[in-house]
Amino acid sequence: MRRLRRLPPLALAALLAGCVGSALAPVLISDEREREMGQRVVTSLEQSDGFHRLDDAEVNAYVSGIGQRIAAASPVQRSFPFSFQVVRRDEVNAFALPGGFCYVQTGLITEAQCEAQLVGVIAHEMAHVALGHHREEIANQALLQTAQGMVFNEGSPFAAVAAARIASGLGMLTFNRGQESEADRLGAVAMARAGWDPRGLRDFFARLDEISQGGGGGRIAQMLSTHPSNTARVQQLDALIASMNPPPNLTMDSPRFSEIKRRVAGIRN
């Protein structure tokens, strides 16, 4: 069950202004059920062609450490734990599955210009899970199946069908514009509470435009290049960060990130 922790008034107001719709959405899938469905997707995903774990304990521990700090600091909580795995893939992307299973691709680590940019993307993907966006989309699909005569219960094949669909898209459901904006807001708040500068998330969207203009647009995951536009996201985050008035000592970069980035680049080469 999600619960709100104490949050500075301005940040809480900014968060709730955009997230109340998700928070009040009907819950048709329990946390336990979502976790079970997510595990099915993990099994299908990790057996699929083109999926390659990065078997480097140091890099995985670094990413997991970031994720666990974000999870602990987030004002919106779920009853299940988050887990993290780095994937060997040049595409600039990270994604989270139902139930808190999170994946970060090596292309994101190498293209992020500072630690806060990497943290911002991870926090954004975790926010989708925290806000229940995966189960909202799964529930929407379930309603469509029910309307067609497929009852959504323990004996229904819907969960397996949903898992296969998610796995075939490398773990990604399609979120709408409002859900993406909600995840941006919660991600920025969570990373600030965890000690990172939320401008890192804002700067990352500007970074995507730089990559595209430099001819690398094909390496950017579609989910990171749409809903809404990068320009709109930068503007929205500028307004949010101004309302949060974060302290000046938040982390934007660290020597450890530079070490990890060099390590990943060496592995790729």
In order along its 269 residues, the chain shows pLDDT tens digits of 333 333 344 333 334 344 434 443 444 678 998 898 889 889 888 888 888 999 999 999 999 999 999 999 999 999 999 999 999 999 889 999 989 999 999 999 999 999 999 999 999 999 999 999 988 877 766 544 444 444 444 444 444 444 555 444 444 567 888 999 999 999 999 999 999 999 999 999 888 878 766 554 445 555 454 456 778 889 999 999 999 999 999 999 999 999 999 999 998 65
Alpha-carbon distance values, 153 to 42, 48, 96, 103, 264 (Å)? 21, 27, 24, 29, 43
**pLDDT for the residue numbered 60:** 99
End-to-end, the C-alpha distance of the chain in Å comes to: 44
Q: What pLDDT, on a 0 to 100 scale, did the predictor assign at position 197? A: 98
Fill in the amino acid letter for 238. D
Tokens of 173: 């459901």
